[in-house]
Amino acid sequence: MAKLEDVNQFHKQIVKNRKEYLQTEIDRLGKEIEKDKQLIKGISDKRADLLSILQSHGALDEYNGLQKQKNILEQKVIEVAKKISDLKKIEDYKSELNIKREELLRKTRRDFQERASIVKNAMSLFNKNSEYLYSEAGILSIDITDTGYKFKVEIKRARSQGVNYMKVFCYDLTLMQLHAGEADMPGFVMHDSTIFDGVDERQIAKALELASIQSEQNNFQYICTINSDIIPYEDFTLGFKDEFKKNIVMTLSDKTENGGLLGIRY
Q: What is the pLDDT of residues 133-148, one digit of tens each?
A: 887 777 787 888 777 7
Which residue ranges make up each domain of the chain? 63-114, 115-251
- CATH architecture, range 115-251: 3-Layer(aba) Sandwich (3.40)
Kindly tell me if the per-residue pLDDT of 56 is higher than 70: no
Kindly tell me if the per-residue pLDDT of 209 is higher than 60: yes
Pairing of β 148-154 and β 188-191 = unpaired
Q: What is the pLDDT of residue 93?
A: 87
78/116: higher pLDDT: 78
Long-range contacts (CB closer than 8 Å, 24 or more residues apart) made by 104-108? 105/144, 105/146, 108/144, 108/148, 108/149
Q: What is the pLDDT of residue 208?
A: 93
Q: What is the pLDDT of residues 6-34, one digit of tens each?
A: 767 777 788 888 888 888 888 888 888 88
Q: What is the mean pLDDT of residues 187-209?
A: 90
Tell me the range of 103-117, 180-194, 199-213, 250-264 where mean pLDDT is highest.
199-213
Q: What is the pLDDT of residue 190?
A: 92
